[in-house]
Chain A
Amino acid sequence: MAGLGVGAAIIVLSLIGSVIPGVGCCNCLLPIAAGILAVYLYTKNSHATVDPKDGAMLGAIAGAACGLLNLIIGAPLSYFVNSAVMQAQFAQLRDQGINLPASLTGFALVIVFGIIGAVVFTILSTIGGLIGSAIFGKGTGVGGNPNVPPPPPNYGGGSTQPPAGTPGGYGSGGGGTYGSGS
């Protein structure tokens, strides 16, 4: 859900960028920002540790959502705004002897390039997710393995003993429930 929300926000920003001259210069950073934002929202809501694999996955989902929304909203808008230009480019290609299928109309082309755009969005958002996992993931770096549990408190016969009546650790010999046969 966070990915879809981020995707919608990025598409709106992207459309604003295409309307306001100069702002569109940051369009390449928007999918990357989407990936970072998706990881940030995920960690903020769930307080879970996000490793690079999860970050990349979150980024890819946000990017795919971006691409899908772009295909639904951005591509038709682009067709209505740029259809004349695209038809001219199409005619120019045909004039140069390039054998394009007759069924390939301007709208079909917009759809095809919308799908290519979705792939581009997904790649960049995956990079954003990787960055997001590095800066918002738990710990100082992605190399820490937070899933590794600490050793039992009394491992190796240490002096720390669990309170009476609680399950003991490995080798404690008393009070344990696991394998105690009770």
Chain B
Amino acid sequence: MPASPDSYVSPFAPREFSARGAWTAWALVAGVALLWLGLIVGAPLAASAGHEATAFVIYQGLKTVCHQMPERAFWVAGHPLAVCARCSGIYAGFAAAVLAYPLSRRLQRTETPRRAWLALALAPTAFDFTLGITGLWANTHSSRFLTGAWLGAWVAFYVVPGAVEIARQRGARPKGLLAFDQK
């Protein structure tokens, strides 16, 4: 009896991906996100604890990606965070969403939301920024942080599946040339 076309397994098809690999990829992303957030919060804490050199290195290292204007940053222990309120929101939202990710969907699923959702995620931040820079509305620390957190949280839904997919590709091996499942 001929085999059904549905039973065809390509020799290039990856093996079934283990949950362990997905969890490893998630843990890696979560670790980097928390480390990054730790640096941002750690800079003022280090400065207040007298570790000026450590704080100096963190502040200068993150200067390339943020203006670090003290009046636009949250303050901790008498010193501003290493990035502004909007950037803090983006990174905090991203870290929170990465941590909560396994609660919202299975880690092995690697589909990402449609790109329209990313535009929707960016809209509040763009709105807040545009209104602020044009002087139509004086945005606040809270508005900058919350709109940034909204954006960062959505970004996690594109980054975690990507990391899981990379882990899947790294863990997969071709099954061999005789891959036809003819039972």
Which A residues fall within an 8 A CB radius of B? Answer: 14, 17-18, 22-32, 51-53, 55-56, 70, 74, 89, 92-93, 96, 98, 100, 109, 113, 116-117, 120-121, 123-124, 127, 130-131, 133-136, 140-143, 145, 147-149, 151, 155-158
Q: Are B163 and A157 touching (Cβ within 8 A)?
A: no
Interface residues of B (CB under 8 A from A): 2-5, 7-8, 10, 12-14, 32, 50, 52-53, 56-57, 60-67, 69, 72, 83-84, 86-87, 90, 109-112, 114-115, 118, 129, 132-133, 155, 158-159, 161-163, 165-166, 169, 180
Nearest CB on A from B167, distance (A)? 10
Cα–Cα distance between A121 and B63 once the two chains are bound (Å):
11
Dominant SS at the A interface?
A: helix
Contact (Cβ within 8 A) A53 B10: no
Query: Interface majority SS on B: helix, strand, loop or mixed?
Result: helix
The distance from the CB of A12 to the nearest CB of chain B, in whole angstroms, is 14
The interface residues of chain B lying within 8 Å CB-to-CB of A53 are 165-166, 169
In angstroms, Cα B162 to Cα A155, docked, is 33
In Å, the complex CA distance between A32 and B94 comes to: 13
Does A28 contact B5, Cβ atoms closer than 8 Å? no
What is the minimal beta-carbon distance from B135 to any residue of chain A, in angstroms? 10
Q: Closest CB of chain A to B175's CB: distance in Å? A: 12
Contacts of B12 in A (CB 8 A): 147-149
Q: Which residues of B contact A143 (CB under 8 A)?
A: 109-111, 161, 165
Query: Once the chains are docked, how many angstroms separate the CA of A24 from the CA of B64?
Result: 10
Chain B residue, CB-CB nearest to A133: B162
Most buried by A among B67, B110, B132, B161: B67
